[in-house]
Each structure stands twice: as C-alpha cells, then as structure tokens.
Amino acid sequence: MVQVAPAAGVLAYPRALALTREAIERAYPDAAGVRDLPADRTVDGAGLDNWWRQAELATADPLVGLTSAAAVAPGTAGLAEYLFGSGPSLKRAIHSAARMINLYVRGVDVLLTQDEVATVSLVSVRPLCDQAVCFMLGLFAEWGRRAFGTLALAEVVVKHDPRDRDAYRRAFDAPVVVGAANALVFARQQLECRPAGADEDTCAALVAHGESQRQAAPGDDDIDRAYARCDGPDGWSADAVAASLGIHRRTLQRRLHERGATHLAQVDRTRRERALRDLNRYRGRLADLARELGFSGVRAFARAFRRWTGETPSEYLRTAGH
C-alpha cells in the first residue's frame, strides 16, 4: 500500500501550491479569480480546505481537483514525476517517486506494501477535503499514464460519495467505489510493467541527486511528527515510520537510541497522547479509535488505556466530566 499522509494537514512544499494553481489556470484559462489563489506560502489543513473551496468557486466546477490534475504540465512536478518515466518498472517508479516526495514534501509519507493488488492510498491524520483527494490521486494516475501510455487500474476507492461517479470513471478509466480509504488500486502484475523511457542509470542518478539536496538528517521534531502521523494497523511499524522520514529502519533506531528512546516506547507514548486527545471525539466509536491507533481491537486498546491512566476509557470519560 502506498500511503500519502499529510502531517496534521500541513502542506509545506514551496512549489506545491504554485504547481496546483498553474494546472488550474491551464484547465480553466477563462476562469475569473484563479489568479487570486495563493501560490507562494504554506497552508495548514484548514487553509488547504479553504484554498480548494476558493478554487471550486473560481472555476464553478465541483470536479476542479480531478480536472486540474490532468492539466499539470509535463515536467513541472520535478524529480518525482521524472522518476515515473525513468524507473525500470511501475513498482520502482512508485518507490523512487515516493522517496522524492518524502525528501521534499514535508509532512507527506509514502510507503509501499502489496498483496494481490498494489494500492496507492492517501491517509491523513486530518481528513483531506474531496478536491485535494481527487487532485492527488489524479496526479499519480496522470504520471503513470504519461510514463506507461496506459494505466490499467483495477478500481478507484474514495471515502466521499462522488458527486458525479461517471466523471470519476471517465477520469480514471476504472470502476469507482466508496470505501474506507482514498486509493488507486493496480493489478499486481502491472507493477512489473516497463515504461518506454526506462533508464536505470538516470533513475539512480536522480534519486542520488535528490537525496544529496536534503541538507540535514531528520531531527527530533521530524521524528515526533512522523510518529504522530501513524495510522491504521499497518502504519505503526518501524519500517513504516522510517519510510515516512525517507531513511532506513536502522537509521531511525539509531536516532531514537541517541535520544534515549526505542521504537516501541515512542509508539506507546504517541498512542497514549492521541488516545487522551481523541477519546471524547470517538465516544461510542472506540473500535475506530483502536484501529486508528494500530490496536487489534477494543480489548487491546482498553488494556493499554488502563495501563496508561489506571482507568478504562469509559471511567476516564466520567472522571474527566466529558
């Protein structure tokens, strides 16, 4: 599964908003107000939702995210896009592009696991607005089409109910379903497809160049944010956290050791903080909170909660007066 998870909804890539606005300008050359969209600063989660609401109003198009993804000019997305075309296979292309996203887009995690299918999935600590979801999924699909000519998707999964499901089907050329994640699902055999412009030497050189541009190793704040973004049953492993930081698991373990911590201790601390923060919001939905925190079920979560606080979740809520 490829997970793209903005940390607390923060988008801090200097070119990201500019690239998006340029795409909207290309898709809607006559739309008034598009040039008023900010393109030179970072925004937090609420600001990003606002930004897309402005884009929807400016274009009068409820599908602006989907439409503008296809209008991103070739080459404007930088190394991540180029890597889609130079990797020896779709699998390597996703890995390499993910590496660049992790290096340059602060607060975005991309991980790859696979079973019968390979899934490019967007998972956020803070819910992403529909337009941002459509744009990001559409951009991945567009990069794949440009590199491989065609992109055979098994299906597209979205959390929101599409306003125009036929338009989604046409955009992705695949069935669209509502599910628990926002995702592009590829047939597993397509992962080994080779793009026409495959060049392993170029791919390796681009990855090396991108990594050389990252000036500093992840600091303590970076590590804390990476753990804060963990989500779901597969997102709490050391491999997942390391991948989100663009480093190897051994490097993560060494950095944790330097600060007198371990992966398990960091996970436990983060789970406790998020459980105490979110318990009231998940009242009546403890199974959802347990799943988000990576527990096998409510019982396992309740045992951990009692260890942290000396009380069960329901006792804690009563004591706290919620």
The answer to whether 238 and 223 have CB atoms below 8 angstroms apart is no
Q: Which residue has the tokens 């190793």?
A: 217
What is the pTM assigned to this prediction?
Answer: 0.59
Pick the closest to residue 96 from 117, 82, 115, 114 (CA basis). Answer: 82
Model confidence pLDDT, tens digit, residues 129-158 = 788 888 888 888 888 888 888 777 888 888
Domain covering 223-237+253-322 in this structure, CATH number: 1.10.10
What are the angstrom distances between the C-alpha of 45 and each of 7, 75, 108, 128, 250? Answer: 9, 27, 13, 8, 32
Pick the closest to residue 180 from 292, 62, 277, 283 (CA basis). Answer: 292
Residues of the chain with CATH 1.10.10: 223-237+253-322
| 321 CB neighbour count, 10 Å cutoff | 5
- What is the CATH architecture of 2-192? Alpha-Beta Complex (3.90)
Distance of alpha carbon 3 from alpha carbon 87, whole angstroms? 20
Q: Is the pLDDT of residue 73 over 60?
A: yes
Percent of the chain with pLDDT over 90: 16
pLDDT, residue 119, reads 64
Q: Is the pLDDT of residue 310 over 90?
A: yes
Q: Is the pLDDT of residue 211 over 70?
A: no
Mean pLDDT, residues 198-218: 70
Which parts of the chain fold into alpha helices (H)? 16-27, 45-59, 64-69, 79-86, 90-104, 130-148, 165-172, 200-213, 220-228, 238-245, 249-258, 263-278, 286-292, 298-309, 313-320
Distance of alpha carbon 118 from alpha carbon 47, whole angstroms? 31
pLDDT, residue 6, reads 35
Tell me the two tokens of residue 162.
């599409």
As a whole number, the mean pLDDT across the chain is 77
pLDDT, residue 118, reads 62
Confidence of residue 83 (pLDDT cuts 50, 70, 90): confident
pLDDT, residue 272, reads 92
Which of the residue ranges 102-106, 184-188, 243-247 would you say has the lowest mean pLDDT? 102-106
Highest mean pLDDT among 115-124, 140-149, 188-197: 140-149
* Dihedral class, residue 84 (left if φ above 0, else alpha if ψ from -120 to 50, else beta): alpha
Give the alpha-carbon dihedral of 82, 86, 88, 89, to 10 degrees. 40
Mean pLDDT, residues 266-291: 88
Tell me the two tokens of residue 16.
């990201």
What are the angstrom distances between the C-alpha of 189 and each of 11, 118, 192? Answer: 33, 9, 6
Residues of the chain with CATH 3.90.1520: 2-192
pLDDT, residue 270, reads 92
